[in-house]
Structure 1
């Protein structure tokens, strides 16, 4: 009988060319952690094993705990009939040769209501909150998950217009939505409602104790280390800062040192893990960092800056402060993506070195057909975005 050719290893085992050694479980996990979220969304259907790995809590936490520094860039169209919100992501690293950032389109949302999406789409651990058609919506651009929260109603009483904020409690790994009732007159009862996402699939609103005094929110919220901050006015026009403890669900008031602000040239930002308030007026930059919330203590730095440094932004073009990048540079850009602006510039200002760096945003932002069809677009950059594979 003719013997079949066989390939023998040194140890005498039969491992011919048709035999494939299986990759170990640990190596499979390591490979998957290096893939982008878009690929993981597809690869979860390869096998039950891969699906169980990708959907496991430990795997998801590993992706979130070691995020690549990303920008989430939102472009909101200004059409009167139907509006669109384009969500793009870009790595924060600057290309030394071309000094540019390339933003890729991740998601597109539409609304047929003039009072649609939030003015700023701040990323909260990878999630954002929106207000299409007046509803409270939470969205994950990485997974494309969109959660429509129920209408605001307590004890059978429907609420009218509300201010909406999204917060994240890192201790209990919980996302919470906060709503603040608009008041019609100074003595009207303060109404606040909160809803926990994820664990409670019924998504039930519950009323919480209000702030120590009446106020009207005047900015979008920013979430830092389990606290949501937003600026506000009192009925007597006093300016203050509201702090919401996401875990304890308590509100407190912080006094502001700044005498005035303009919504387009000032912002609450995360500066190296601390809350900061930045105001740009003319050729000056006022920079305040919150040192002690209980004692209302702030530190201040005052800078003289020259618009000639920003020669890529015309003086008559309104600007927006977006926050800081991963090395603490303040991010400034034109407020709108205009049809005739040319390349869209992003300015980085190093508060310590007093140094200005400029880059150009590439991709959709420099596509002439896109600008002609959808421009001008309101531009906002959320510099603390991360790819989050969690479903809530």
Structure 2
């Protein structure tokens, strides 16, 4: 079949843009024409728009150099969907580094690495797990007295300007909780210092951030700040206005999530001597009285006081939860279906424990645009489809060619 002689280019692009990312990465090896189409940044945007219900995956760390991702979309066999990835950056001494997943947006994941013995040194990376693209951001420029081991971060996108922004906030290494904030713009390529509205306390305050990574709803970051069981508050940061605001939370509020344009909150606690989680939804955004409990799920009848529970994905029908036991270095990821009165565990995956550092992301071909200042000034690892070995290359090319001929048959029938 003569390629492209009777099939309009826009039809080929439209059909390809509706395929999953995994298939498109394989198709880049089929021909120069297809490689050019799939590698085009405009095509990446179109593909992401056409697959807004694209597959969501959970990325988590096995250790500071080995990373896995897991398909969260039902129906899926979790064991079969695991992909093993390597860390997108190299350490001189991996044992001294602590890697954390601190944000995700448009298929891009934000990571931070900190040298444990030198808390003043922090590196931040933007990485696409699907394509291998990675970008190291410049140092935020915090002073030495900042406690970088208690940072919280956010990573988001401004559709109006096409700008990606990363936020890093850290408390002074003192008891009064002075907050220092930096915001990075990929378009401008610089960090900007933001004045924190949260004034230092007149007395020592013990507090901690329940999750390093912000929950992103629209163009706003959200974190829970817990004052050691005295009270909890939600800090929000508007990416457009570059302003903070604060709202009181409620007792036992542990993590946040968003679904269907609403902010959700998870609580963990004991109910009739069983370990449970509850899902609450904020019916009216930023109205504290609008929190409404949706359901309670019993996780275990045997309460382990050392168990950590991290709900990571809530939908109308199911919730994905990570249960971590640090003492035994074990992590269990479970999917709980809760359409019926009796919630049912339908998927279960056990992995060895590293850190409760994981986040949900959507697969995409997107990367930071070439015309952004950060791409011109800092180290970039561009997407690569180089196979690990020749045998794997042959298998991928054969599979891609097979799919290529099937797709051409579809294109031909579509054009008739």
2:95 paired with 1:117: no
1:140 to 128, 136, 140: 128
Q: Which residue of structure 1 lines up, in the alignment, with residue 233 of structure 2?
A: 240
Evaluate the alpha carbon distance shift between residue 147 and residue 21 of structure 1 in structure 2; reply closer, same or farther with a 3 A threshold: closer
- Cα distance in 2 for residues equivalent to 1:113 and 1:152: 23
- 1:69-80 aligned at under 5 Å gives the runs 69-77=54-62
2:366 paired with 1:390: yes
- 1:1-392 aligned at under 5 Å gives the runs 21-41=5-25, 43-44=27-28, 49-65=33-49, 66-77=51-62, 83-94=64-75, 102-105=80-83, 107-109=85-87, 112-118=94-100, 120=101, 122-133=103-114, 134-153=122-141, 160=146, 161=148, 162-185=151-174, 189-197=178-186, 199-200=187-188, 203-214=189-200, 217-220=209-212, 221-233=214-226, 238-256=231-249, 258-261=250-253, 266-283=254-271, 284-301=276-293, 303=295, 305-307=297-299, 315-316=303-304, 318-335=307-324, 346-350=334-338, 353-361=340-348, 375-378=352-355, 382-383=359-360, 385-392=361-368
SS for the counterpart of 2:16 is helix
| Residues 147-203 of structure 1, C-alpha deviations (whole Å, 9 max, x = no match) | 11111227xx66742433222233433221101132233556532110012x23xx3
Q: Which moved more, 1:185-194 or 1:125-134?
A: 185-194
Evaluate the alpha carbon distance shift between residue 101 and residue 337 of structure 1 in structure 2; reply closer, same or farther with a 3 A threshold: farther
- Cα distance in 2 for residues equivalent to 1:391 and 1:18: 33
- Cα distance in 2 for residues equivalent to 1:354 and 1:122: 34
| Residues 69-100 of structure 1, C-alpha deviations (whole Å, 9 max, x = no match) | 4342334235xxxx3341314151125xxx75
Query: How many residues matched?
Result: 341
- Cα distance in 2 for residues equivalent to 1:61 and 1:226: 18
SS for the counterpart of 2:179 is coil
Evaluate the alpha carbon distance shift between residue 58 and residue 33 of structure 1 in structure 2; reply closer, same or farther with a 3 A threshold: same
Evaluate the alpha carbon distance shift between residue 57 and residue 153 of structure 1 in structure 2; reply closer, same or farther with a 3 A threshold: same
| Residues 195-249 of structure 1, C-alpha deviations (whole Å, 9 max, x = no match) | 012x23xx31111221344576342211111111011146996421110112221
- CA shift, 1:129, in A, is 1.6
Evaluate the alpha carbon distance shift between residue 286 and residue 334 of structure 1 in structure 2; reply closer, same or farther with a 3 A threshold: closer
Q: Normalized against structure 1, the TM-score is what? A: 0.72
Evaluate the alpha carbon distance shift between residue 226 and residue 104 of structure 1 in structure 2; reply closer, same or farther with a 3 A threshold: same
Q: Normalized against structure 2, the TM-score is what? A: 0.68
- Cα distance in 2 for residues equivalent to 1:19 and 1:279: 57
SS for the counterpart of 1:191 is strand
Larger C-alpha radius of gyration, 1 or 2? Answer: 1
Evaluate the alpha carbon distance shift between residue 346 and residue 191 of structure 1 in structure 2; reply closer, same or farther with a 3 A threshold: same
If each structure's helix is expressed as a fraction of its own residues, which one has the higher value? 2
Evaluate the alpha carbon distance shift between residue 182 and residue 85 of structure 1 in structure 2; reply closer, same or farther with a 3 A threshold: farther
SS for the counterpart of 1:27 is helix
Q: Which residue of structure 1 lines up, in the alignment, with residue 378 of structure 2?
A: none
Contact 2:257 2:314 in 1 (8 A): no
Contact 2:255 2:310 in 1 (8 A): yes
- Root-mean-square deviation over aligned CA pairs: 3.8
Query: Is there any run of 5+ residues in structure 2 with no aligned partner, and where?
Result: 115-121, 201-206, 369-416
Query: Is there any run of 5+ residues in structure 1 with no aligned partner, and where?
Result: 1-16, 366-370
Evaluate the alpha carbon distance shift between residue 210 and residue 292 of structure 1 in structure 2; reply closer, same or farther with a 3 A threshold: farther
- CA shift, 1:296, in A, is 3.2
Contact 1:103 1:361 in 2 (8 A): no
SS for the counterpart of 1:360 is strand
SS for the counterpart of 2:190 is coil
